[in-house]
């Protein structure tokens, strides 16, 4: 079994919860560069993750990204993505999950950068409703985590805020009412604690509208999600944190965004949407880059 057929089998196993950590570490053919030599440090499972992607003027984004990082663009445009999701099964290597610390909600706002030949992510903010995770990430890594009050709930198609008027420019209108009658959606809200100038508020209702499939290399959809490191700057040093997971298997989505003050740059137009039901992730220690 080779190539795409093998990837599909692995994805089916993973989606059914049957992929071991050892098998995950063996699946590296999709990565743009090898796994780090160091052992992984932490694992999480990201569930019901939605990517909302907007093209933006690169010059506007440049002023919000450290000079040490090169802005990564697609056809001359920078992109900003906002992603609400559930973090579950969080634990450190060689340790069991710790109740009350193993799951929380997260909402991040990011753009795309590269350094030393590696395409990665720069986070403008990462909101979470678990205070210990926020304080640890801020103190140890200098990541811009923010403490927030957050809610995530399933909504029925006939509930308020889950109307059939949701639409994404990448899907046909004919699919919307069919989906609205058959599928559940989700509502995610975020209210940042001690937010300044009204920033840190988000309210969205969304749902997937298709089966999951792998993104195709060379496409914008692939470029936006297939990233295996993030960068941060601490004490004047650029740090890189590598991650590992199977290739993204995403569905089309539709959404209604009621409130959005998460981006440092004004966003306009309909975003591109990508939804992933579940993704097991390994995180490696940060290293100086």
pLDDT, position 163:
38
pLDDT, position 158:
52
Per-residue pLDDT tens over the stretch 185-211: 999 999 999 887 778 999 999 999 999
Check pLDDT > 80 for residue 84.
yes
Mean pLDDT of the chain: 88
Structure tokens belonging to residue 232: 């941060």
Give the mean model confidence (pLDDT) for residues 170-181: 33
Q: How far does Cα 28 stand from its chain's mean position?
A: 20
What are the backbone dihedrals phi and psi of residue 23, each rounded to the nearest 5 degrees, phi first? -65, -40
Q: Where are the domains of the chain?
A: 3-288
CATH architecture entry for 3-288: Beta Barrel (2.40)
Per-residue pLDDT tens over the stretch 210-259: 999 999 999 999 999 999 999 999 989 999 999 999 999 999 999 999 99
Distances (CA, A) of 43 to 10, 228, 252, 283: 19, 14, 26, 6
- pTM of the full structure: 0.88
Q: How many CB atoms lie within 10 A of CB 224?
A: 19
User: 26, 282 in Cβ contact below 8 A?
Assistant: no
Torsion of CA 50, 54, 58, 62, to 10 degrees: -40
User: 148, 188 in Cβ contact below 8 A?
Assistant: no
């Amino acid at each position: 079994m080779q190539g795409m057929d093998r990837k599909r089998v692995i994805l089916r196993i993973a989606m059914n919860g049957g992929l071991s950590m050892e098998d995950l570490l063996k699946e590296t053919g999709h990565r743009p560069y090898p796994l780090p030599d160091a052992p992984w440090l932490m694992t999480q499972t990201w569930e019901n993750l939605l990517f909302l992607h907007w093209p933006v003027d690169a010059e506007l984004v440049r002023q919000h990204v450290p000079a040490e990082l090169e802005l990564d663009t697609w056809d001359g445009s920078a992109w900003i993505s906002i992603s609400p999701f559930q973090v579950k099964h969080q634990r450190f290597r060689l340790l069991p999950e710790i109740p009350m610390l193993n799951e929380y909600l997260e909402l991040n706002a990011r753009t795309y950068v590269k350094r030393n030949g590696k395409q990665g992510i720069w986070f403008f903010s990462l909101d979470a409703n678990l205070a210990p995770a926020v304080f640890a990430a801020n103190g140890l890594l200098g990541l811009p985590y923010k403490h927030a009050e957050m809610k995530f709930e399933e909504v029925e198609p006939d509930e308020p805020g889950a109307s059939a008027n949701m639409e994404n420019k990448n899907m046909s209108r004919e699919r919307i009412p069919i989906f609205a009658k058959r599928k559940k959606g989700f509502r995610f809200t975020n209210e940042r604690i001690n937010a300044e100038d009204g920033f840190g508020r988000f309210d969205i209702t969304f749902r997937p509208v298709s089966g999951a499939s792998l993104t195709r290399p060379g496409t914008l959809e692939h470029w936006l999600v297939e990233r295996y490191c993030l960068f941060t700057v601490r004490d004047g040093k650029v740090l890189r944190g590598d991650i590992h997971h199977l290739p993204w298997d995403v569905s089309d989505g539709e959404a209604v965004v009621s409130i959005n003050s998460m981006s440092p740059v004004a966003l306009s137009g309909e975003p591109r949407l990508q939804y992933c039901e579940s993704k097991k992730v390994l995180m490696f220690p940060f290293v100086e880059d």
